[in-house]
Amino acid sequence: MPRRPAAALATSGEVLRLIRTGEAVTRADIGRVTGLSRPAVSLRVTELLDRRLVVEDSDGPSTGGRPPTRLVFNASGGVVLVGSLGASKAQIAVCDLGGGELARADLAIDVEEGPDVVLPLVMRTWGELLGDRPVSQIRGVGLGVPATVEFAAGRTESARIMANWTGVAIPPIIMSRFPAPVFLDNDVNVIAIGEHRTVYAGQADDLLFIKVSTRIGSGIIAGGEILRGALGAAGEIGHIPVRDGGGVLCRCGNVDCVDSVASGTAILRDLRARGHQVRTLADVVSLVRAGDAETMTVVRNAARMLGEVVATAVNLLNPAVVVLGGDVAETFQPLLAGVREVVHRRSTALSTRNLRIERSRLGPGAGIVGCAHMVLDHILSPEAVDAS
């Protein structure tokens, strides 16, 4: 590997990046890759050791004589608090600095009750999951919420949906209890990050994740990175209108948004209108398994309308893979088959030539994984490590 000018890679944060990626795992490697002098390498490594971001391992391979001391990223050097909130359910967890789940709780919530009710519950759960771990071990906090999020400001911007949350700056509320950097994003964005990092890393850098649950939303991975748009509104696929929606009023104020005609809420509403006594999606599953013709018609109609919107997104974004997740997508095989059929019929030949349309492999855990990576990407970046 060519020797680089010392000025280009002179910081402790950059040295940590080299250790985490495996590009340099000994002091000699760091000097060779960065061009830093031995004293300069020693200074930066000592800083990382003192901050418990790396540890030494003397069991490395030897080419003769004493084996070199290897430097290993210390995933146990702290924790991150993460939470993935949906409209009616939440996954709350404590993770290590490698994104590994240390403790987790699944909660039933009503996100429309607002931050005054939901955030204390989330923070109380984090406190319980921390157990005996001191607050000083917390390196960062990440939260996904089912609303449009202005990422840089850390607040939701949804005038009609989650109205009680609109304009509320969430990071200061959490930091008053847990003094660490706080990051807030749309719930489907963090799920998309989780799916990409865990399942598709190295396979697909362009991915479209569609969550079909109580509501419908999407997260876009473009070039290996989450695409948030200018202010954070990218991926609001649920509020794209469909043809022949029947004039259903959406919570956003428009008519025939795909969220209002093809979500889990819409499927339950349509079945009740046809006289079926269904309270939950589990009741719908029972009808599907029993071969109920009306239920199959409702599910297939939802798949058709969702497929039309996904086909438009495929034409626009040209992803390598479309992943369908959420309660509805993970429960109803006819929905996946219906979306796949419409997309291949309505999208261009080139955009679908190698396109894969698959169900989520992570399930509900994707949000936890994505939140952890969202936080770790920021707090372990060279700039953040140097600034801290």
Please tell me the predicted confidence (pLDDT) of residue 57: 87
Token pair in block for residue 361 = 């492999």
Helix, strand, coil abundance in the chain, percent, nearest 5: 45, 20, 35
What is the Cα–Cα distance from 133 to 80, expressed in whole angstroms? 12
Confidence of residue 150 (pLDDT cuts 50, 70, 90): confident
CATH architecture of 12-73: Orthogonal Bundle (1.10)
Please tell me the predicted confidence (pLDDT) of residue 220: 97
Examine domains 12-73 and 203-361 and report if their fold is the same. no
**pLDDT tens-digit readout, 269-315:** 999 999 999 998 888 888 888 888 999 999 999 999 999 999 999 99
Q: Which of 69-78, 269-278, 324-333, 373-382 has the lowest mean pLDDT?
A: 324-333
**pLDDT tens-digit readout, 56-88:** 987 655 555 567 789 999 999 999 999 999 888
Confidence of residue 189 (pLDDT cuts 50, 70, 90): very high
Please tell me the predicted confidence (pLDDT) of residue 5: 47
Confidence of residue 144 (pLDDT cuts 50, 70, 90): very high
Q: Which of 37-41, 147-151, 183-187, 263-267 has the lowest mean pLDDT?
A: 147-151
Q: What's the CATH number of domain 79-190+367-387, 3.40.50.20, 3.60.70.12, 3.30.420.40, 3.40.30.10? A: 3.30.420.40
With 90 as the cut, is the pLDDT of residue 6 above it?
no
Whether domain 203-361 has CATH 3.30.420.40:
yes
| Domain residue ranges of the chain, discontinuous segments joined by + | 12-73, 79-190+367-387, 203-361
What is the Cα–Cα distance from 14 to 269, expressed in whole angstroms? 54
Q: Which of 76-85, 137-146, 241-250, 354-363 has the lowest mean pLDDT?
A: 241-250
333-346 and 293-317 helices, crossing angle to 10° = 40
**CA 18 vs CA 11, 21, 39, 53, 235: distances in Å:** 11, 5, 18, 13, 33
**pLDDT tens-digit readout, 206-256:** 999 999 988 899 999 999 999 999 888 899 999 999 988 888 988 888 999
Please tell me the predicted confidence (pLDDT) of residue 2: 45
With 70 as the cut, is the pLDDT of residue 161 above it?
no
Q: Which of 108, 333, 300, 310 is nearest to 207 (CA)?
A: 310
What is the Cα–Cα distance from 311 to 334, expressed in whole angstroms? 17
Please tell me the predicted confidence (pLDDT) of residue 282: 85
Tell me the three state secondary structure of residue 155.
strand
DSSP E strands in 172-248: the ranges are 182-186, 207-212, 216-222, 225-226
What is the Cα–Cα distance from 286 to 304, expressed in whole angstroms? 21
Please tell me the predicted confidence (pLDDT) of residue 60: 57
